[in-house]
Amino acid sequence: FFFLFLGVFVFTRTALATTTTQHRSTTVIPYHSYIQTLSHTNKYRVMAKGVPKKVKKGTPPPVDKLLKPAIGVALALVAYQFMRGLGSGIARISLINEVELREVLYGDSTSGSSSSSNNNYVVLCQSEESTAPISSVFQDAYKEKSTTATIFRVMDCQATIPSTGKSVVEEFQIDMKQRPTIFVSGPTLPKPTQVPEKHLKTGTMLNKYLRAKLEKHAVKIETTQDLRTKCLSKDVCALLLKGGKKAPSHIKDAVSKLLKEYPDVTLASVDTSVLYVLHLEEYLPEFQKDTARFVVFRKVSGSMQTTSDGGGRLITSMTAADHASYGPMSNAVAQVLQKTATMQKLSSLPQIKTRTKKLEESERAKRQRKAEQKKRQAESSSSSSSSSSSGGAGGGSGDGDDMKEERRRERERRRAEHNAAHNVKPKTPEEIAEMERKRRERMEQEAAKWNVAPDDAPPPEGDAGGSYTFDEDDYDDEEENYVVVEDVVDSDQDDEDVIDLD
């Protein structure tokens, strides 16, 4: 601004000096002669009405006297643009500094600090010999600087890098015909990417492109494959079920805060106004337009690569926030990370379907069945508690089936307490079968000992010992071959025969 003011001042001063010199060289006319000439001119002007007046051509200003002010103005403008570029604070990348080059182009951080490795770079390609000013779009974007952890630099992209022997233009296919030539690099990009020309009209448009390209944002879910690969396969994933195409401002702010607060948690979003999440929405409040819902998934086991026998199947669980705002959403994610949340295990993985009236009706039917089931369970529990209380009071009016069920539950409770107190482990089916086999063997042995055949039963085949019948005629002759049976006479029972089986 100083040089511009100086040029304008010199130009004005020179012009005034030229006008003054010309005025001084003019011949001085007396006053009475001037009046006489003026009246004479008016007289002939009235007489020659309708005759065009002859205009006297003026002499052009001398060029040599205006040349110096013009040069001063031009130098002032050049100096202003140069000072503007110096005052922007944008540093230039040196091709000799290999550490900075590798960090900008390849994302390698050798300084050991975590902050430098997470930086995003916006680089303007401009030669050191160029006299053109720095792009105004680039400078405006640098002044706004709406993206976090973004560093603006200037670099000679056509110069050969000593370490690689190639220039940036050759290695990363940068189009130098596009003006201004700007590329971005960072941890979210695999390699330096040139900014398209449609985003280089204003600094605001460039910053908008940088936010979309460099900043972390929620993953958009549109298919079942997207949901499984981008969300459910992760250890912890948060899913925002939007109630419309565009989320409200407070939801956007909450998502931005969650992305900064939990950088290791994957955050995804799905538009449930046109899509339906099967096997998930039945556990959530019913869909309402423009009302968002928020759930957090935690992987239980398995992965997407399943074996032929069905092993390793992906199993996940979920918990839902009370309502979609920053506080409940942040608390839900924190509780899942700390493993203190109450998780609902999903029997089937969620699927993305197109929202139709048929799906909505089936969801309502499921909700109705669950509500009726809970109602029946509540009624049965209340009736059992009332019957047990009436039986304890001695009324005896309880139902017999309810009493049997109550006694069975009491036995199971006591059995469980006994097993826990004495460290009794439940027996396996093999052990139970072995115990049953041994029990049957013992029963057969005891039956063989105590089984006495009747008198009229035929002798069993293959019995070597046979069975003998006592005969009074043969008793005296073959006494030594039989067991002696003594008649024991009891004083109280004279007619009773007692047999000594031993």
pLDDT value of residue 47: 47
Of residues 203 and 393, more confidently modeled: 203
Q: Are 239 and 294 in contact (CB under 8 A)?
A: yes
Query: Is 59's pLDDT higher than 60?
Result: yes
For 29-54, the pLDDT digits (tens) are 555 555 555 555 555 454 444 445 55
d(CA 213, CA 192): 12
Query: Is 310's pLDDT higher than 90?
Result: no
pLDDT value of residue 189: 83
Of residues 238 and 308, more confidently modeled: 238
For 314-356, the pLDDT digits (tens) are 999 999 999 899 999 999 999 999 999 999 999 899 999 999 9
Query: Is 373's pLDDT higher than 70?
Result: yes
Tokens of 81: 């643009």
- Which helix (H) or strand (E) segment holds residue 283: the answer is none
pLDDT value of residue 119: 82
d(CA 144, CA 52): 63
> Which 3 state secondary structure label does DSSP give 138?
helix
Rounded to an integer, the average pLDDT of 430-459 is 82
Query: Is 478's pLDDT higher than 50?
Result: no
Q: What angle do CA 188, 189, 192 make, to 5 degrees?
A: 145
d(CA 280, CA 359): 12
pLDDT value of residue 90: 84
pLDDT value of residue 426: 82
Residue 242: pLDDT band by 50, 70, 90 thresholds?
A: very high
d(CA 217, CA 455): 99
- Which residues on adjacent β-strands are paired with residue 319? 296
Rounded to an integer, the average pLDDT of 392-410 is 68
What phi and psi values does residue 220 have, to the nearest 5 degrees? -90, 130
Q: What angle do CA 68, 80, 83 make, to 5 degrees?
A: 135
Residue closest to 119 by CA, chosen among 60, 180, 167, 184: 184
Query: Is 380's pLDDT higher than 90?
Result: no
Tokens of 53: 């007046």
Residue 180: pLDDT band by 50, 70, 90 thresholds?
A: very high
pLDDT value of residue 181: 93
pLDDT value of residue 480: 47
For 423-433, the pLDDT digits (tens) are 888 888 899 99
Rounded to an integer, the average pLDDT of 57-67 is 61
pLDDT value of residue 489: 42
Alpha helices in 185-244 (DSSP H): 203-214, 224-227
- Which of 70-84, 366-380, 475-489 is predicted least confidently? 475-489
Tokens 């005896």 correspond to 396
**Topology adopted by domain 90-214:** Glutaredoxin (3.40.30)
Query: Is 295's pLDDT higher than 70?
Result: yes
Position 228: which residue type?
A: R
Q: Are 281 and 239 in contact (CB under 8 A)?
A: no
d(CA 312, CA 301): 7
Query: Is 438's pLDDT higher than 90?
Result: yes
Parse the chain into domains and list their residue ranges. Answer: 1-24+61-87, 90-214, 219-303+313-362
d(CA 370, CA 89): 65
- What is the separation, in whole angstroms, between the first and last Cα of the chain? 137
Q: What angle do CA 460, 463, 468 make, to 5 degrees?
A: 80
pLDDT value of residue 485: 42
Tokens of 328: 């409940």
**Topology adopted by domain 219-303+313-362:** Glutaredoxin (3.40.30)
Query: Is 483's pLDDT higher than 50?
Result: no
DSSP 465: S
Tokens of 47: 């007489």
Instruction: Find how far residue 449's CA is from the centre of its chain.
Output: 77
pLDDT value of residue 388: 60
Handedness of CA 360, 361, 362, 364 (dihedral sign): positive
Tokens 């059995």 correspond to 415
- Which helix (H) or strand (E) segment holds residue 334: the answer is helix 326-337
Residue closest to 280 by CA, chosen among 219, 331, 352, 330: 352
Tokens of 150: 């973004």
Rounded to an integer, the average pLDDT of 82-101 is 73
Rounded mean pLDDT of the chain?
A: 78
Q: Which stretch, 92-106, 399-413, 460-474, has highest mean pLDDT?
A: 92-106
Contacts of 331 (CB under 8 A, 6+ apart): 321
Q: Do 90-214 and 219-303+313-362 show the same overall fold?
A: yes
Rounded to an integer, the average pLDDT of 121-127 is 92
Q: Are 299 and 307 in contact (CB under 8 A)?
A: no
Query: Is 111's pLDDT higher than 60?
Result: no
Order of strands, sheet of 150-155, starting from the edge strand that comes earlier in the sequence: 91-92, 150-155, 120-125, 182-185, 193-194
Of residues 480 and 426, more confidently modeled: 426
- Which of 192-201, 398-407, 443-452 is predicted least confidently? 398-407
Alpha helices in 107-152 (DSSP H): 114-117, 136-144
φ/ψ region of 192 (left if φ > 0, alpha if ψ in -120 to 50, else beta) reads beta
Residue 442: pLDDT band by 50, 70, 90 thresholds?
A: very high
- Which residues on adjacent β-strands are paired with residue 124? 154, 182
Query: Is 386's pLDDT higher than 80?
Result: no
Share of the chain above pLDDT 90, in %: 33
